[in-house]
Structure formats: C-alpha cells, structure tokens
Amino acid sequence: MARAATPAIAALVAAGVSHTVLAYRHDPRTEAFGDEAVDELARDGVVAEQIFKTLVVALPKGLGVAVLPVPSKLSLKATAAALGAGKATMADPAAAQRSTGYVLGGISPLGQRRPLPTVVDSSAMRWDRVLCSAGKRGLDVALDPRDLIRLTNAVTAEITAL
C-alpha cells in the first residue's frame, strides 16, 4: 500500500473517510496562503466560502484550533467562548508549527502531532463538502464537514467576526 502524502491524508485513509485530494500550484514567495488556495481552486468551480483555513490560537491553558472560511475574519472572543476559555489570542507561529507538526500555510486540522481542542465555524454545515489544508502548502482535501468535525472532535460555533 502506498504511503499517504501527509499525516492529514493518512488520518482520513485510516478512518475510511471519503475525500478528494486537490493539488494546486503554490508560489513559494506568497504568504497569503488562504488567498492563494482560493485563487487556485476557484478555477475548479469551488466557492471561496467553501475553502476553510486552519488558525492556531493560544488559550490560557494551551493551544486550540479554529477552522473557518478563508474570506472570513476570526473572532477571538467567539473562539475562546466556543473552546470554553476566557480569552484567545493568535498563537506564536513557531509554537503552532511545533504543536501541529505542520508548517504555516500547510497546517491541517487533521492528523496533527498532538490533537488540539478545535472549533469549526458553523457555516461549514451549509456545504456538502468543505476544503481544508491536507497538511502541505499547495494541497487541500475536500470532505464532508461532518467527517471533519468528527475526526477533529470539534465543536461548531459562529467564530467569524462581522
């Protein structure tokens, strides 16, 4: 059997979850990883709000993960509340990479080195499939949002800022 390309894909395969891996051209000079994914994947008829970014947040007792549509801005207050914390701030990038085992721009909510408390924006449930990082820049995975929520033991909540 071929080895999965990333821990995220390996987690999906191990769980027997139906998914599609979508590769796109990653420009190594870009730091707008979500926008790049939207630009590249929109060519395949994917809607921007269907592509989710994975952000790591710092909570009083450790790190957490927020998964929300790329075009949306994260509400740290709503994220903290959803994860049962008093407050949340954006995590230090090095800490996020160490904890998840992924590089910035390729952090997936799936297959993390140490699973973190996770909240998925409730808008995910509007779609029959959502896209999120497959664990490498230039690689996304499309899956049923219910599978994403189940595999990450996530709660759902409105975590976008107005």
Kindly tell me if the per-residue pLDDT of 143 is higher than 80.
yes
49-58 confidence digits (pLDDT tens): 999 999 999 9
Q: If you write DSSP's letter for every residue of 151-162 in order, what string do you get?
A: HTT-EEE--B--
Q: What is the pLDDT of residue 1?
A: 38
79-94 confidence digits (pLDDT tens): 999 999 999 999 999 9
Q: What's the pTM value of the predicted model, to 2 decimals? A: 0.94
* pLDDT (average), residues 55-73: 97
Token pair for 36? 């790049």
Output the average pLDDT for the chain.
92
Domains parsed from the chain with CATH numbers: 7-157 (3.90.960.10)
* pLDDT (average), residues 132-155: 96
Q: What is the pLDDT of residue 5?
A: 84
CA–CA distance, 69 with 91 (Å, rounded to integer): 19
Residues 6+ apart with CB under 8 A from 110: 7, 8, 11, 12, 132, 134, 135, 141, 148, 151, 152
CA–CA distance, 136 with 116 (Å, rounded to integer): 18
